Amino acid sequence: MENPIWITGAGIVSAIGLNKLEVLDALLQGRSGIGPVRHLRTVHTDLPVGEVPLSNDELQSRLGIPSGTPIIRTALLGMWALQEALQDARIDTELLSDTAFISGTTVGGMDKSEQYYPDFLSNDSRNEYIALHDCGSSTELIADHFGRFGFVATPSTACSSALNAIIAGANLIRSGLADRVIAGGSECLTRFHLNGFHALMILDSRPCRPFDASRAGLNLGEGAAYIVLERPSTAQDRGVEPLVTLDGYGNACDAFHQTASSPDGEGAFLAMQAALSDAGLTPADIDYINAHGTGTPNNDSSESAAMFRLFGDLVPPVSSTKSATGHTTSASGAIETVICLLALRHQFLPINLNWSEPMENGLIPVRDSRPSREVRHVLCNSFGFGGNDSSLLLSKWQKP
């Protein structure tokens, strides 16, 4: 791409690691973070999840937040990931006023709302937690922990929220409205969250198996991730080089159904096609696709159809890393963008765990992390309810 956007920093926290190095090690070792519930208070202990292995108290202590401070888990996870991204890109508090912050979420402060709602009805003694319910509150809490950003926004488009936050940030840079944007998303597990997906009958009581013939649903996860998007000149002014580049992106909404994907994968097809066109690349240029790959019968069939439509018989290596992290819903697009960044930087293919048997009319996902050719361009897919589908195209940076 003639004028790529530089990605100069990244931070992540998930069930497979508290930072990029831990996540990288888990991916290279094929290690899953999905297991029994530990922190979420729920009766559904039979449903495996991908929890971040730190309690709220542990996160607060490590972040230096005084005990008793009204806080929500979505914000704590976001603070943890944003801290790494800022350090990675060498951004100090003096630069925040010239930096936009866009964080996608859907659950927001639901963890405390569901805990204190009975109290709210009876005596209103926990209103400071109820006030943190809406999605924007989590973003404000994360931002305020570090300083005052020049611009703050909170996209909420279900499971494509974080990827759409990145797209919004890229559009700010392209339009000249910002030189530097930190974008991504954060989402914690809640009972509302778990029960809602359980009511839709799309949760698996076993570890999920994306693109497998026996797939029976998803495992919910939680986490956060952010990337630092910059105009090259802004990064060069402080002597920072890119980790990778963001060369293209696309968003489409097929509005096929409130929750289901269309049989022909129209929204996914249009999003990937737009990302390729935006980057000025062809399907043959793509070396890896990080699929949305939820492990539900509907999504994996629909996404496979979309990839066959776009790539024909030459679909590049594909995997779903939700088999390791769980489906982190609104944060998934950012978490998987950072995983794609790691794949480009370290030249490997993330393995699709738990796969054993091809699904009907489906693809065979990655089972060997060693690429057959250089990994230069990757697509990252993230699809939301209502058919709000997005795709990013990241590229390996070649120093001039």
- Hey, how many other C-beta atoms are within 10 angstroms of the C-beta on 282? 10
Could you tell me the strand order of the sheet in which 100-104 lies?
Answer: 151-153, 100-104, 180-187, 223-230, 5-13, 244-253, 388-396, 377-384, 288-290, 318-319
* pLDDT score, position 133: 78
Distance CA 310, CA 289 (A): 12
- 208-218: pLDDT as tens digits: 999 999 999 99
Q: Which of 7-16, 104-113, 126-135, 293-302 has the highest mean pLDDT?
A: 7-16
Confidence of residue 299 (pLDDT cuts 50, 70, 90): confident
Q: Are residues 233 and 250 in the same domain?
A: no
Comparing CA positions, the residue from 296, 267, 246, 278 lying closest to residue 383 is: 267
Last residue of a domain, one of 237, 263, 289: 237
Asked if pLDDT for residue 189 goes beyond 90, the answer is yes
Q: Are residues 227 and 253 in the same domain?
A: no
Last residue of a domain, one of 237, 263, 278: 237
Average pLDDT, the chain: 92
Asked if pLDDT for residue 2 goes beyond 70, the answer is no
CATH of residue 94: 3.40.47.10
* pLDDT score, position 3: 72
- 339-369: pLDDT as tens digits: 999 999 999 999 999 999 999 888 999 999 9
Confidence of residue 158 (pLDDT cuts 50, 70, 90): confident
Q: Are residues 196 and 328 in the same domain?
A: no
- 28-86: pLDDT as tens digits: 999 999 999 999 999 999 999 999 999 999 999 999 999 889 999 999 999 999 999 99
Q: Tally the domains of the chain.
A: 2
Above pLDDT 90, what percent of the chain? Answer: 79
**What does DSSP say about strands 151-153 and 100-104: parallel, antiparallel, or unpaired?**
parallel
Whether the CB-CB separation of 292 and 381 falls below 8 Å is answered with yes
Distance CA 187, CA 229 (A): 21
Asked if pLDDT for residue 1 goes beyond 60, the answer is no
Q: Are residues 210 and 286 in the same domain?
A: no
Q: Are residues 201 and 177 in the same domain?
A: yes
Whether the CB-CB separation of 18 and 189 falls below 8 Å is answered with no
107-116, 243-252, 312-321: which has the minimum mean pLDDT? 107-116
Q: Are residues 311 and 179 in the same domain?
A: no
* pLDDT score, position 258: 62
Above pLDDT 70, what percent of the chain? Answer: 94
**Which active-site residues does the annotation give?**
159, 292, 327
17-21, 82-86, 136-140: which has the minimum mean pLDDT? 136-140
Strand partners, 187: 223
Q: Are residues 77 and 96 in the same domain?
A: yes
Asked if pLDDT for residue 265 goes beyond 80, the answer is no
Last residue of a domain, one of 209, 237, 265: 237
Q: Which residues contact 249 (CB under 8 A, 6 or more apart)?
A: 166, 167, 170, 274, 275, 278, 390, 391, 392, 393
Q: Are residues 221 and 291 in the same domain?
A: no
Q: Which amino acid is at 167?
A: I
Q: Are residues 262 and 388 in the same domain?
A: yes
Q: Domain range holding 333? A: 246-396
Q: Are residues 262 and 197 in the same domain?
A: no
* pLDDT score, position 134: 82
Q: Are residues 148 and 187 in the same domain?
A: yes
Q: Are residues 155 and 87 in the same domain?
A: yes
- 326-339: pLDDT as tens digits: 999 999 999 999 99
Phi, psi of 268, deg, nearest 5 = -65, -45
Cα angle: 155, vertex 202, 360; to 5 degrees? 110
Looking at per-residue pLDDT, the higher value among 173 and 111 belongs to 173
